[in-house]
C-alpha cells in the first residue's frame, strides 16, 4: 500500500503530512485519514515532528497563541507539550516538551513573520479536503465565536453608560426636588414669622378676641 504525502507551504514554513486512506470508511485513494507521520520545517530551524497528538497540540497552541497576541495583553501560552512566550524584544520563544523522559525540551525563537507563516500553513491543512484530521474548532477563536468578547464590550460600551446616565438624572432630580421642598418650608415659616412680627394689628385683633 503506497503512502500518500501532502505538503502545505507558506514562505519559510513547510508542513508535510504522510498517511493512508481509511478504506474501512470508504475513503477515496487521494484522502489521508490515518496520519502516520508529520513534519514541520522552518527555514534555519530544527525539524519538528511527532505523533498525531503532538500535531494537534502544536496546531491548537499556535491558533490560541495568535488569539492571545491579538486580543489579550498576556502573551503566553502554556500546555503539557508546548509553551509559547513573547519576549520583550518582540520575538517568540517556543518550548517543545518531549513526552519521553530524560529528553531536553527543544527551544526555538521565531519572529512574527514565521508565526504568520505557520498559522497560514495550518489554515491550509484545516481547509484541505484531502486530509481528515479531527481539528474542528481549533481556530474558533480566530474565526467563529467572538461573541464572548463582543458581548462584554456591548455591556460596557452600550449598556453601562446609559444606565449611569439614567441613574445620575434620577439622583439629581431627587436632590433638586428635596432642596426645593426645603426652600418651600423655609419661606412658609419666614412668612409666618414676618406676619407675626410686622402685623401687630392682626395679633392685637387676635388677642382681642
Partner 1 sequence: METIDLNGNQSIFNLSNKLNLKEVLPNKVYIWKLRCSNPMRKSFTNKRIKLKEFDALIRITFEMSKRLYPYIRAILASKDNYLTSPVLWDEFQRRYIALISERFNNESIRVKNLIEPAKSSNFFMELLFILALCISDNGDLRLKNILLSL
Q: How far is the CB of 44 from partner 1 (least distance, A)?
A: 12
The residue from 39, 123, 130, 135 that contacts partner 1 (CB under 8 A) is 123
Residue 137 touches partner 1, criterion: CB under 8 A: no
Distance (Å, whole) CA 209 – CA 4 = 122
Q: Cβ closer to partner 1: 150 or 169?
A: 150
Residue 43 touches partner 1, criterion: CB under 8 A: no
The residue from 3, 22, 105, 143 that contacts partner 1 (CB under 8 A) is 143
- Report the Cα–Cα distance between both ends of the chain, in Å, rounded: 128
Q: Which three cell numbers stand for residue 130?
A: 484531502
The residue from 3, 11, 173, 203 that contacts partner 1 (CB under 8 A) is 11
Residue 76 touches partner 1, criterion: CB under 8 A: no
Residue 156 touches partner 1, criterion: CB under 8 A: no
The residue from 57, 59, 65, 66 that contacts partner 1 (CB under 8 A) is 66
The region of 19-27, 53-61, 146-154, 184-192 touching partner 1 under the rule CB under 8 A is 146-154
The residue from 25, 149, 196, 203 that contacts partner 1 (CB under 8 A) is 149
User: Which residues contribute to the site for partner 1 (CB under 8 A)?
Assistant: 11, 66, 69-71, 90-91, 111-117, 119-120, 123-124, 126-127, 139, 142-144, 146, 149-150, 153
Amino acid at each position: 500500500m503506497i503512502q500518500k504525502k501532502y505538503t502545505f507551504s507558506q514562505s519559510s514554513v513547510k508542513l508535510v503530512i504522510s498517511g493512508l486512506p481509511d478504506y474501512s470508511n470508504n475513503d477515496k485513494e487521494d484522502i489521508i485519514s490515518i496520519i502516520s507521520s508529520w513534519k514541520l520545517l522552518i527555514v534555519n530551524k530544527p525539524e519538528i515532528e511527532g505523533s498525531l497528538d503532538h500535531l494537534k497540540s502544536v496546531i491548537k497552541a499556535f491558533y490560541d497563541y495568535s488569539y492571545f497576541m491579538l486580543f489579550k495583553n498576556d502573551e503566553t501560552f502554556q500546555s503539557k507539550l508546548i509553551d509559547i512566550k513573547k519576549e520583550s524584544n518582540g520575538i517568540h520563544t517556543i518550548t517543545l516538551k518531549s513526552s519521553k523522559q530524560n529528553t531536553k525540551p527543544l527551544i526555538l525563537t521565531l519572529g512574527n513573520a514565521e508565526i504568520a507563516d505557520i498559522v497560514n500553513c495550518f489554515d491550509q491543512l484545516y481547509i484541505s479536503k484531502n486530509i481528515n484530521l479531527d481539528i474542528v474548532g481549533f481556530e474558533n477563536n480566530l474565526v467563529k465565536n467572538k461573541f464572548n468578547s463582543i458581548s462584554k464590550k456591548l455591556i460596557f460600551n452600550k449598556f453601562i453608560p446609559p444606565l449611569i446616565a439614567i441613574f445620575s438624572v434620577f439622583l439629581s432630580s431627587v436632590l433638586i426636588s428635596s432642596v426645593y421642598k426645603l426652600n418651600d418650608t423655609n419661606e412658609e415659616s419666614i412668612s409666618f414669622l414676618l406676619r407675626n412680627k410686622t402685623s401687630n394689628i392682626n395679633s392685637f385683633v387676635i388677642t382681642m378676641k
